[in-house]
Every structure is written in C-alpha cells, then in structure tokens.
Amino acid sequence: MNVLITGASRGIGKATATAYAAEGATLFLCARNEVALYNTVAELQTKYPNSTIKAKAFDLSIKEEAQKFGQWVLSFGCPDIVVNNAGQFLPGNISTEEEGILEHTIAANLYSAYHLTRAVIGKMIEAKKGHVFNICSIASLQAYKNGGSYSVSKFALMGFSKNLREELKPHNIKVTAVYPGAVMTDSWAGFDNSAGRIMEADDIAKMILAASKLSPQAVVEDIILRPQLGDL
C-alpha cells in the first residue's frame, strides 16, 4: 500500500504517517522543513522497520513545488492513499489582517491540495482505485471568532473535496473530507492540555486509517471530530 502524506513532519500528518508505518505501508512524505521531515523518517524507520519510508522537502504552497512532489512520488509508483494535510493556521479578522494573508493562506491550505492531487490523480484513475483525504477543519463548516482567511481557505477546501468526490466516483476513487476541531498540534502550542480538554493528533490518524480500510463499495464522505466537551 502506497500512502502519500503532506505536512508529515508534525501534528496530524506525523500521526497519520505513524499509523500507516505501523501497518507496514510504503510512505511518501513531504514537509517544508527538511530537518524535521528527515528526523521524522529516521524515527519512524527505526520504530517500524517493516515500513518503507521515502521523503522529500517541498513547499506545496508553490504550484511548481506541488507538481514536482507529485511527479517524484509517481516515479516510484501510484499512490493508493493521498492525505492532503499540509496547511497553515494564521488567526485574524478579515477587516484587519495584514495585506496578502488571504493569498498566502489560500495557497497553503487549498492550492497545495489542488495541485498535488492533479499531479497524481491521472495515474490513480488509470489504476481505478484510491482514496483521497483532505484535512479540512471545523472552520470549514461554520464561521468562528478570529477565523479570518483561515476559515475562508478551509471552506474552499471543503468545496474542493465535494467536487472532487463527485468527479471521481465513476473511477472507483474515494474522497473523504476530515473536519477536526481543536487538536493538540503547533496551532495550540503553549496550551495546557493536562486535563485532556482538546484532542490528540493520534485521534485523527486513527479515524483516517479506519476509513481507508472499508470495503471498496463503502466510503466515509465526511469525518467530523470535536473535543468531547465541545469546541473552544
């Protein structure tokens, strides 16, 4: 099983890579930070020697970089699972955030998934199988305080997911949109989670793994996960 994961050096991406490495999958990992990415590879390869792990650093917010990563993956084989997790959270208000934040956030959170998926989906269509996971957000579903351009970008990623799902149905390719609430990642750096108020990245990874194991005729279209006590 070939699994492509972006934003794989930390947070949900790293947790998802860990879950699939434990399954003995062949992983193709990407992140912007080369040092953090290869530290993740070394950690996973040591812990899960039965998994084959390949990685290359790219900035997927740049169209050409996303295309190059997709082509690099295809040089080894066709992905069975694509997890579009790369993205960035910048809080703010539409009326006051800095000039250029919308363009930057859209590039990181939407265009990365769009261009990478386009780079690999042709081969997946030829193979007549596959599963694409797009890591959206609770911010894709409703406006919230200080959401700003981040929420706009995640609404767009939800739209991308819905359209892609309809387009790929005839080709036996599944598309799942994942909508996590607060997760203990870098976005919540400094938050005291000793009381378990917000979710762990592993919670999201477990759901992705489970959804990818269903029969070919079944698809989990949307996964919504929130902290048990509700959103913050």
Give catalytic residue positions.
Answer: 150
Compute the distance between CA of residue 228 and CA of residue 232 in angstroms, rounded to an integer: 11
Main-chain phi, psi angles of 29, to 5 degrees? -110, 150
Is beta strand 81-84 parallel, antiparallel or unpaired with respect to 52-57? unpaired
> Are 113 and 163 within 8 A, CB to CB?
no
Residue (of 65, 77, 90, 92) closest to 148 by Cα position: 92
CA 97 to chain centre: 25
Distance (Å, whole) CA 81 – CA 151: 26
Angle in degrees, CA 88, 220, 48, rounded to 5: 65
Distance CA 74, CA 86 (A): 19
Neighbours of 184 (CB within 10 A): 18
